[in-house]
């Protein structure tokens, strides 16, 4: 009985002394305070300590909190890294698209500028070409162009021959205008021949109109057909040539036109 009371007092003292200790130290004190016959044993299984057949779970709230915080920080760090990686991956195509768009706009500006410059150059060259008086001077060419409106058919014929021999594109528009209004067959033929000598594509439409010029004999209109053939445009003007052929009354002219239709009319 005495021994039991003594063990209880020692146990209480051990409890008071172990208030500031952890579970391991308290277990040691309890084992030392009890009697040997109590069969007290200390067994460590993982994080648990068995004392007298009862399990004492060793809890570490501070360490658990640290682990939770560490896990949270780790997850947050991984999430931020993934977000940054995703943003960087997304920003690369966006930046590339901006660069490609800027390059495309720059290319379009350069292309438009080059096209406009080329167009201006072609226009300037065309204006220089059509202003060329040929072998005549500008003053002489202008004087012969003015003579195309002379009331004398002989003067108009002479002017057309001089302009045709000079082969100056400067006179093409004036010759076309004179051809559309010419009523004299000889002057009509001279103007067509002058345009044919200059060999300017602007006169093709005037040749087509001359094929059906009212009041002109067949041989005068044949000059327009010859000019079309010389300009190598007969293959695309077969319907107009066929109408011209059907309007002919001169058998000799008709015989000369027939081979052209046979070549391209099929």
Instruction: Say if residue 186's pLDDT is above 90.
Output: yes
Q: Which of 130, 156, 176 is the last residue of a domain?
A: 130
Give pLDDT, residue 89: 55
- Domain span at residue 216 reads 138-264
Within this chain, do residues 160 and 253 fall inside the same structural domain, yes or no? yes
Count how many domains the chain has: 3
- pTM to 2 decimals? 0.57
Within this chain, do residues 244 and 202 fall inside the same structural domain, yes or no? yes
Give pLDDT, residue 109: 87
Within this chain, do residues 94 and 201 fall inside the same structural domain, yes or no? no
The answer for residues whose C-beta is within 8 angstroms of residue 17's C-beta and 6 or more apart is 29
| Residue with more model confidence, 4 or 95 | 95
- Over residues 142-171, the pLDDT tens digits come to 999 999 999 999 999 999 999 999 998 999
Within this chain, do residues 236 and 174 fall inside the same structural domain, yes or no? yes
Within this chain, do residues 41 and 78 fall inside the same structural domain, yes or no? no
| Residue with more model confidence, 65 or 122 | 122
Within this chain, do residues 55 and 73 fall inside the same structural domain, yes or no? no
In the chain, the percentage of residues whose pLDDT exceeds 90 is 38
Question: Measured between alpha carbons, how far is residue 244 from residues 190, 221, 225, 260, 263 in Å?
Answer: 20, 9, 9, 12, 16
Q: Are 233 and 208 in contact (CB under 8 A)?
A: no
């Amino acid at each position: 009985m005495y021994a039991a009371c003594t063990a209880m007092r020692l146990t209480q003292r051990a409890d008071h002394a172990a208030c500031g200790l952890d579970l391991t130290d308290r277990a040691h004190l309890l084992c030392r305070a009890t009697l040997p016959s109590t069969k007290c044993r200390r067994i460590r299984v993982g994080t648990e300590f068995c004392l007298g057949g009862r399990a004492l779970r060793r809890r570490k709230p501070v360490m658990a909190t640290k682990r939770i915080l560490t896990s949270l920080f780790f997850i947050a760090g991984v999430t931020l890294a993934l977000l940054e990686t995703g943003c960087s991956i997304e920003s690369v195509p966006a930046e590339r698209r901006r660069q490609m768009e800027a390059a495309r706009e720059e290319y379009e500006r350069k292309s438009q500028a080059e096209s406009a410059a080329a167009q201006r150059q072609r226009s300037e060259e065309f204006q220089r070409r059509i202003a060329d008086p040929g072998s005549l001077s500008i003053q002489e060419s202008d004087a012969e162009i003015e003579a195309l409106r002379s009331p004398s058919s002989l003067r108009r014929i002479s002017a057309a021959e001089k302009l045709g021999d000079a082969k100056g594109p400067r006179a093409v528009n004036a010759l076309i205008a004179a051809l559309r209004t010419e009523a004299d067959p000889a002057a009509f033929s001279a103007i067509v021949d002058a345009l044919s000598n200059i060999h300017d594509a602007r006169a093709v439409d005037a040749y087509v109109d001359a094929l059906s010029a009212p009041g002109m004999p067949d041989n005068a209109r044949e000059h327009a057909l010859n000019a079309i053939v010389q300009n190598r445009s007969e293959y695309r003007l077969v319907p107009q040539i066929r109408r011209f052929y059907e309007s002919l009354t001169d058998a000799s002219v008709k015989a000369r036109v027939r081979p052209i239709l046979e070549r391209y009319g099929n």
